[in-house]
Chain A
């Protein structure tokens, strides 16, 4: 097999990887933020709030990610256009980003919820007894401890997200996998490019996973 055409195609592959990473990082940040809010809502004493959040989580965990991606690409712009009366397309990148954020938030929510529940009730009482409000207690006392405990799990979930970003190919976004596929198609060497893409995904995911395991060991000691 001849891999020389890979070198020629490298700029395209690199820009594909940049898009993948940009999508990944923004989706993690948005997903964890939304997931944390959902977790707080699920743990709320307000029945309506906790039921709504529970429904959200169960709903998104019960449908395929690919469906969410296509749904946001085709349906949401239509609804927004219908609501605002304009006809501006959102674009594949932003519709995918929103889809990933909302989908992953359901998974991050469960991790954050478990993290918060692992902190003893006594810590909440101690913060309250010092005069802190609910929001201060969460921001200054509970979440910092919870996030410390759940960092390994959040990272593992993010590695899965990294692999799942390749699904954007369904709406034609040129991420790393799609760039490799299309470059391979053009030069007629699809196998080499797909093998290469597989190797890159493996190295990044496996490497990150190994690092997370090491971090986990350090945190538990």
Chain B
């Protein structure tokens, strides 16, 4: 579904991604972890072309993200993305946040889009908040709306860029619950996250990045049981200590 081939990226002289290669198959859940500044967020933003890259290629559902001929908006409309800071549109109600892109991008009728949005809002347990504005919801609620907004586009895969990093601890689980449910339903997911509990529970594979390179790309049990690289061992021992 998503195949990343030898992707490198520079900001001026500084190399942020070095020869990254990996694959996410249909229905697979892949967790990307690593210390901050390791390029995980940059890599996931390359997948839907939010960040350009200078060499290599990324193929999503048979379409090359790097090719200048690719209709990026169209490709992005088929790949859902959830951000660290939610990024709901603050000037629109929750209902309109859910409906906007369905109407303007997919060309759905307004009542159809709103109905679909409400159904998804119900699924993330927030149907009572449809008429509110994003500023009136808690962080956890906003992030659940953001997930519903992405799902409303009927995506073939979902990208999560540190979806719980900006949340208060007691709100993390309500978001992870929604993500776990999605994973169980067979959604193809690529998640940048530090939530190792989530990774243990639903990930098929774990990718560990350091200094812009993929250091370890292993199935879950292998990664948590016996990581090959010293860097990943050190990282795991630090974050799993407590």
A interface residue numbers (CB < 8 A to B): 120, 122-123, 125-133, 136, 140-141, 144-145, 148
Contacts and interface: CB of A to CB of B under 8 A. Distances in A.
B85 A130 contact: no
Contact of A130 (B45, B91, B101): B101
Given A126-B81, A141-B89, 17 more contacts: A120-B85, A122-B83, A123-B87, A125-B50, A125-B87, A126-B87, A127-B89, A128-B76, A130-B77, A130-B100, A130-B101, A130-B150, A131-B106, A132-B73, A132-B101, A132-B104, A140-B100
Contact of A122 (B48, B87, B150): B87
Nearest to B76: A131
Given A122-B83, A123-B89, A140-B100, A130 B50 contact: no
A136 B50 CA distance: 16
A71 B72 CA distance: 46
Nearest to B80: A129
A215 B108 CA distance: 37
Nearest to A129: B81
Contacts of B48: 129
A9 B74 CA distance: 64
A130 B83 contact: no
A-side interface mostly: helix
Contacts of B87: 122-123, 125-126
9 contacts: A123-B87, A128-B50, A129-B76, A130-B105, A131-B73, A131-B74, A131-B76, A140-B100, A141-B89
A100 to B, nearest CB: 30
A131 B153 contact: yes
Contacts of B90: 145
